Structure 1
């Protein structure tokens, strides 16, 4: 596999992994920053995350073998690239194609292109202009160059790539150009009144359910890894290998987390992320919290505790819950059917007294 393709695959893989880890907090932050989350925002932020890792993979990898390391030099001449371009022009013999494909010219162009998305994302996502792009481009490029110069901050005895001030100039130029290019992108109006209630759509309900499953899964994974590491470093390596005690701890911890969240707040982690709550109906609060738990992530979590042979049951539960979320009136889904409630935007004023579940956007009495 070509090195550039391999490094790109690493960046995509790391970006995808981090996107999964950060998805729930990202959704929660976006709903509080802008009041909602669009598909375009999701795609752009995902691309920015992959790009963040691409900067490091393409500038620092592959790492050299310490036994064959050859120390690299330092270029402190900020105009050395001019001499390189002159030499390229001489080698090309007046041919524009030969000049454009010369190694020195390509290296210069790639340094500019590598940081071009940085300025683009700074303007489109963070609404920051040229000055911010310039400072970001210079700052990140400087960190990259210093990492190379110090041999990854002392891991290697010397620099394994040339510290080049020309790279600082070209990288910063790329970031500024990216900011200028982003000017042609239609600018969305700044978020107004992020605390204003929004319609409860089925897509929003599904997004909340995805956040629930992700949060439950990640809590289980993190706790399992922590317990496994604790067993290994405490001298219980055989116990860690021969039993699934770490997995059991993780599963119980995830179940405890989602149970406590619903029973204390009446909302799941996904509800909190997308700012939803179930309201209405004639049932007492204690009962509706229980139905919210059983009809949502709690039901899945309980089924997930069953032996491995029962895995299809939890999968069937997820499928059923998803179908009901998009086919029932107002997207009330299984929790709404069990609790005789409907989902509302949590930014709505809390109801006084017992609410009527026949209000617009809520479920009607069956």
Structure 2
């Protein structure tokens, strides 16, 4: 079993890196397409990503050394079908009339290897049925292409990184993997009756969740981080990213991507909204400056700096409480939205 655990561990590590890069685009696509992000669809989708990465990891890892591969002399491919049946007949301890041989036969490599190849693609068929809602014929094609990609990667000596293939290109694996996926498809058709319908677990709403807001803000902050090094004054970046688009288009780029906009259309109210929103950042800026002074200021001024830090902390705490109250409030409006009589609405 250890030979299977190491590739899975490697796949999980790769998944976390891929998931970190995927999460923002995924949220944007879901908000644009469905107006909300279903927690269940999120879990199912990212479990599929984890599965695919682990499946490829199991066909690639563990990686041998180049010296080890250079000394390999075995065959690089098997194009003769049903060799796994012949191996089972010749080398397995299984004897139908002797029950004592049944369990050892299940633990023998002649059974374990094809059985794990069968299990390798079984989840793929389930996902094709449940997540992607594909037909049987489409699943058959995709399953064959998936397992063919496994075998071609092995046959190519990991895209030419090794002097020769270190794993066998096996037509039996093509058949067994495809059969496993088709079995998984049938299993998925049954499981669909017990699992939530992915098309019904989410409802479009004009009310904007804080997760949707946050997704737009993250996009805007990424854009701000790109622009900032190219402008001479620190305030120019926020003007370009937040204020000007909000006044002209009623939304920032991030808000556009997640399909939300500011209501009403009155540009004076939108300008007031943006000015009040900017006030949120003043305690953070002042606190940062005061913290910088604590290491260089004379001892006689430290008490005043600490009082300033306490005032900033209190203001930040008030902002945090307002945020928490807004989460449980039906209107989901923050203090600067209430004062400016504006709100974010979704399309």
Contact 1:325–1:333 (Cα < 8 Å) also in 2: yes
Deviations, residues 225-254 of structure 1 (Å, cap 9, x unaligned): xxxxxxxxxxxxxxxxxxxx99x99x9999
Q: State yes or no: 1:205 paired with 2:189.
A: no
TM-score if structure 2 supplies the norm length? Answer: 0.74
Deviations, residues 240-299 of structure 1 (Å, cap 9, x unaligned): xxxxx99x99x9999688436645543355544543333139772551562586378xx4
Say which SS state the counterpart of residue 267 (structure 1) adopts: coil
Deviations, residues 336-360 of structure 1 (Å, cap 9, x unaligned): 2353223322x2xxxxxxxxxxxxx
Instruction: Identify if the C-alpha distance between structure 1 residues 64 and 270 changes in structure 2 by more than 3 Å, giving closer, same or farther.
Output: same
**Residue number in structure 2 paired with 1:362:** none
Contact 1:48–1:121 (Cα < 8 Å) also in 2: yes
**Residue number in structure 1 paired with 2:168:** 162
**Residue number in structure 2 paired with 1:142:** 148
**Residue number in structure 1 paired with 2:274:** 290
- How many angstroms does 1:149 deviate by? 1.0
- How many angstroms does 1:143 deviate by? 1.4
Q: State yes or no: 1:58 paired with 2:58.
A: yes
Q: State yes or no: 1:28 paired with 2:28.
A: yes
**Residue number in structure 1 paired with 2:182:** 176
Structure-1 separation of matches of 2:118 and 2:319: 47
Structure-2 separation of matches of 1:209 and 1:56: 36
- How many angstroms does 1:43 deviate by? 0.5
**Residue number in structure 1 paired with 2:157:** 151
- How many angstroms does 1:29 deviate by? 1.9
Structure-2 separation of matches of 1:10 and 1:53: 9
Contact 1:263–1:293 (Cα < 8 Å) also in 2: no
Say which SS state the counterpart of residue 344 (structure 2) adopts: strand
Say which SS state the counterpart of residue 93 (structure 2) adopts: helix
Structure-2 separation of matches of 1:75 and 1:98: 27
- How many angstroms does 1:88 deviate by? 4.9
Contact 2:126–2:181 (Cα < 8 Å) also in 1: yes
Q: Which structure would you say has the larger RCO, counting Cα contacts within 8 Å and 6 or more residues apart?
A: 2
TM-score if structure 1 supplies the norm length? Answer: 0.70
Instruction: Identify if the C-alpha distance between structure 1 residues 129 and 39 changes in structure 2 by more than 3 Å, giving closer, same or farther.
Output: same
Q: Which moved more, 1:138-147 or 1:15-24?
A: 15-24
Structure 1: 5+ residue stretches without partners: 225-244, 348-366
**Residue number in structure 2 paired with 1:84:** 87
**Residue number in structure 2 paired with 1:354:** none
Instruction: Identify if the C-alpha distance between structure 1 residues 32 and 329 changes in structure 2 by more than 3 Å, giving closer, same or farther.
Output: closer
Report the RMSD for the aligned CA atoms in angstroms.
Answer: 4.2
Correspondence 1:235-314 to 2 at 5 A: 258-259=241-242, 262=246, 265-268=249-252, 271-280=255-264, 284=268, 286-288=270-272, 290-291=274-275, 294=278, 299=281
Number of residue pairs aligned between Structure 1 and Structure 2: 315
Contact 2:124–2:143 (Cα < 8 Å) also in 1: yes
Instruction: Identify if the C-alpha distance between structure 1 residues 147 and 286 changes in structure 2 by more than 3 Å, giving closer, same or farther.
Output: same
Contact 1:258–1:268 (Cα < 8 Å) also in 2: yes
Deviations, residues 285-322 of structure 1 (Å, cap 9, x unaligned): 551562586378xx49x859957958x97986984574
